Amino acid sequence: MPDDYIVYYEPEVHGRRPDFVILGPDLGLLVLEVKDYTKNTLFQLNQDEWTIQTSAGMQQTVKSPLKQARDYIYHIADVLKKDKNLIQLDGKYKFNLKFPYGYGAVFTRLYQKDLVGEGLYTVLDPNLVLTRDEIDQEKESFSEENLIEKIMNMFVVPFRLQEPLSHEDIQSIRYHLFPEVRISAEFKQPVPYQDQLLLSLHDIKIMDLHQENLAKQLGDKNRLIRSVAGSGKTLILASRAKLLSKDHPDWKILILCYNISLAQNIRQMISLMLKEPDSLFDFDFSTDSSGHSGGNQKNITVRNFHEWLKHDLKITEGMIPTVLDKLENNEAILPKYDAILIDEGQDFQTEWLSLVSKLLNPSTQSLLLVEDRAQVIYPRKRSYIQDTGLSFQGRSKILNINYRNTAQIVKFAWDFYRTHSSLQNKVVNRTIDGVEIISPQSTRRKGPDPGILKAENFGMEMKIVAKQIKVLHEQKAVPYSDMLILYRVKRTHKLNVIDTIKRALNKENLPYYWITEDDRSKRNFKKDEDTIKISTIDSSKGLDFQAVFVVNLENMPFALEENKEREVSLLYIAMTRAIEYLCVSYSGESEFTNYFENVKSERQQLKEKQSEKKGG
């Protein structure tokens, strides 16, 4: 589905539970009933009732899936017709809903050939049915265009929307179907905190060396690092893993993070670190033919959390509560780790941390958590002591110097965050489990002001971005491998964002790699490959590039994201991926683009004042 569609799975709608409810601005409302019937399940069918064989071998009469879906959508339509803002007040469809609604059935284990062969299309309207070969992306015959077209035709009232549903219409529909209660909470007053590290350094390599030294000074057992974007926390974590691997070659070391692409990046970072000797004389020719003793990658496992569950623990996320109970009663045998290091810890749920800590060797207690609360994009509630059984009191470190980004980028990103975030006044409370947003300080490393670009349309926007990428490569010697294009959504009902990005790059013959095309592309991502990387903002966490282009910004804050705080954090994350060059661009309007238009005006006014002074 396009990114601005909403899909509800098994929602309760006034006492009924349809399998899927789809709501799209240019679509209307659609109910899909899903059945896993096989040919052997079906016994006798007519348009209203089906007799099926149950797994126990009994015969049972049930409502036809299409009749079930039809009853659901009419029930929903009756609820919505009570809102006069959602009905047509005149014309042919007076007192009907002002948008189309429809229904269909999905058979996950039957193919089109089965329906034809068994004569099922005599009791099923072909336009209202989806079979396995029409929904399974792995099948050769699958076509996304056909699927969308078929869904578009599953409507009771066959009219297409001339004007897409407004944000207000969609909010009204959601409110009537899924009422909510919201209670706001006040935050505690902040306690200001300052730190003066790294401010005198300019050279990134020297700064990295400083972060590696910090890893050595962390001490043993459990540790917590709270930091700002660009403070080198991932580098510290990787350096710490290398150090532990070298000092304890028999240890089993686990590194976990949330993102697939970040896990791949850490893997490559550690691989490079372990190949480098610590000093010119740090060679042990008895170890291996490469002649270095910089640690053993075989005893370090790097995973994103869900990959770890699947490959190493052989469980799913839904099984975690049961597994925790079994571990409590010594009824489960799972791998144990001598050291566990967690990057982007703010993204980890309570149960995830509980599971991780139960698999930590109690005699080493070597758990390192690194986090940045300003980059919270997944809601989590927790107390570290409750989740892990370990206290971090007196065992935490705050890194508030952003040395990755230039001073201009740090100010640009933080000014935006400070203006829009409801958390920005909650800047550092020294308690370990309170809400903490650490105000970043920047080093004296200078660079160009971030670019703000407004174009007539997204095609023109990408044309300019592609030309700018060429200029940076040819005139500033920025390698393609060190450039990143970030987008919020890949497609809406108005625009295919990804296709437009690719077209513009192809036109300029620029090489690119779409990191977030699917899980496989995330796992195969190689940062050093000589291609421009394209990614969602979510998947860019923990990565950094010399030049970053945040495009199609009018889709932020994204209309369907009710938590605006998440959108603020996402854009802050996007901007702080840039080491030296940053450009934000848009061709429409939103709350965020209006902010950047104001920044542009202020810049212009400042230029005019400066030129007047020179002229005077």
pLDDT tens sequence across 460-481: 999 999 999 999 999 999 999 9
Q: Which residue has the higher pLDDT, 329 or 615?
A: 329
Mean pLDDT of the chain: 82
- In sequence order, the 6+-apart residues with CB closer than 8 A to the CB of 595 are 416, 419, 420
Structural contact between residues 260 and 522, judged by C-beta atoms closer than 8 angstroms: yes
- pLDDT per residue over 150-177, tens digit each? 888 888 766 677 789 988 888 888 888 8
Pair (171, 211) in one structural domain: no
Q: Which of 307, 287, 366, 253 is nearest to 520 (CA)?
A: 307
**For residues 504-528, average pLDDT:** 93
Q: What is the mean pLDDT of residues 419-443?
A: 58
State the CATH number of the domain containing residue 460: 3.40.50.300
**Closest to 372 measured CA to CA, from 413, 321, 326, 327:** 413
Give the count of beta carbons closer than 10 Å to the beta carbon of residue 137: 9
513 strand-pairing partners: 533
Dihedral sign from CA coordinates of 278, 283, 288, 293: negative
Whether the pLDDT of residue 444 is over 50: the answer is yes
- Give yes or no: residues 169 and 216 share one domain: no
Q: pLDDT at position 482, please?
A: 95
Q: Is residue 195 part of a domain?
A: no
Q: Contact at 8 Å (CB) between 372 and 439? A: no
- Please report the pLDDT score of residue 432 as a whole number: 36
In a domain, residue 197? The reply is no
Which of residues 351, 378, 406 is at a domain's end? 406
Half-sphere exposure of 268 (CA within 13 A, CB side): 13
Same domain, 472 and 603: yes
Distance, CA of 513 to CA of 264 (rounded, Å): 15
Question: How is residue 121 annotated by DSSP?
Answer: G
Residues 167 and 247 occupy one common structural domain: no
Residues 117 and 226 in one domain: no
Token duo for residue 215: 């890893």
Number of domains in the chain: 3
Each residue's pLDDT tens digit, 52-101: 988 788 899 999 999 999 999 999 999 899 888 888 887 777 788 889 99
Is residue 11 included in any domain, yes or no? yes
Q: Is the peptide bond before 277 cis (omega within 30 degrees of 0)?
A: no
Residues 268 and 333 placed together within one structural domain of the fold:
yes
Where does a domain end: 370, 391, 406? 406
**pLDDT for 255-290, tens place per residue?**
999 888 888 888 888 888 877 655 444 444 333 333
Q: For the CA atoms of the chain, what is the radius of gyration?
A: 28
Residue 320 and residue 469 share a domain: no
Whether residue 280 is found in the same domain as residue 137: no
Percent of the residues in the chain that have a pLDDT greater than 70, as a whole number: 84
Contacts of 290 (CB under 8 A, 6+ apart): 275
Of 493, 408, 603, 429, the C-alpha closest to 166 is 493
Using DSSP bridges, classify how beta strands 223-227 and 396-399 pair: parallel, antiparallel or unpaired. Answer: parallel
CA dist., res. 237 & res. 372, Å (int): 14
Report d(CA 566, CA 314) in Å as an integer. 31
> pLDDT higher for 79 or 504?
504
Cβ neighbours of residue 601 under 8 Å, at least 6 residues apart?
none
Q: Which of 374, 406, 438 is a domain's end point?
A: 406
pTM more than 0.75: no
Q: List the one residue out of 476, 500, 474, 478 whose CA is nearest residue 489.
A: 500
Residue 115: inside a domain, yes or no? yes
Strand 28-35 vs strand 101-107: parallel, antiparallel, or unpaired?
parallel
Could you give phi then psi for residue 540, rounded to 5 degrees? Answer: -90, -5
Q: For residues 401-416, give the mean pLDDT.
A: 87
The structure tokens listed for 104 are: 């269909």
Task: Note whether residue 199 is domain-resident.
Answer: no
Beta pairing, strands 401-402 & 441-442: parallel
Arithmetic mean of pLDDT, 449-457: 95
Is residue 74 one of the residues assigned to a domain?
yes
**293 neighbors 246 (Cβ within 8 angstroms):** yes
DSSP state for residue 257 in the 8-state scheme: E
- Residue 413 maps to a domain: no
How many whole angstroms separate alpha carbon 427 and alpha carbon 439?
Answer: 6
Cα–Cα distance, 387 to 383 (Å, whole number)? 6
pLDDT digits (tens, 9 = 90+) for 299-333: 899 999 999 999 999 999 999 999 999 998 888 88
Sign of the CA dihedral running 5, 486, 534, 495: positive
Residues 172 and 257 in one domain: no
Looking at residue 195, its pLDDT comes to 36
Residue 292 has pLDDT above 60, yes or no: no
What are phi and psi for residue 470, nearest 5 degrees?
A: -60, -45
Q: Tell me how far CA of residue 129 lies from CA of 102, 116, 121, 125, 551, in angstroms.
A: 12, 12, 9, 7, 38
Q: Tokens at residue 35, please?
A: 């059945």
Average pLDDT score over residue span 576-581: 93
Q: Residue 609 corresponds to which amino acid?
A: K
Q: What is the pLDDT of residue 103?
A: 95
**With 50 as the cut, is the pLDDT of residue 188 above it?**
no
Q: 608 in a domain, yes or no?
A: yes
Q: Which residue in this structure is represented by tokens 């986090």? A: 371
pLDDT value for 172? 85
Specify the pLDDT at position 55: 79
Instruction: Kindly report, residue by residue over 331-390, the tens digit of the pLDDT.
Output: 888 999 999 999 988 888 888 988 998 999 989 888 888 887 665 555 555 566 666 767
Q: Which token pair is 175?
A: 């409110």
Answer yes or no: are the C-beta atoms of 526 and 572 closer than 8 Å: no
Residues 141 and 247 in one domain: no
Same structural domain for residues 388 and 476? no
Q: Which domain holds residue 26?
A: 6-177
Q: Which helix (H) or strand (E) holds 231?
A: none
Closest CA to 375 of 579, 580, 566, 577: 566
- For position 437, what pLDDT does the model report? 63
Q: How many CB atoms lie within 10 A of CB 353?
A: 23
Residues 502 and 381 in one domain: no
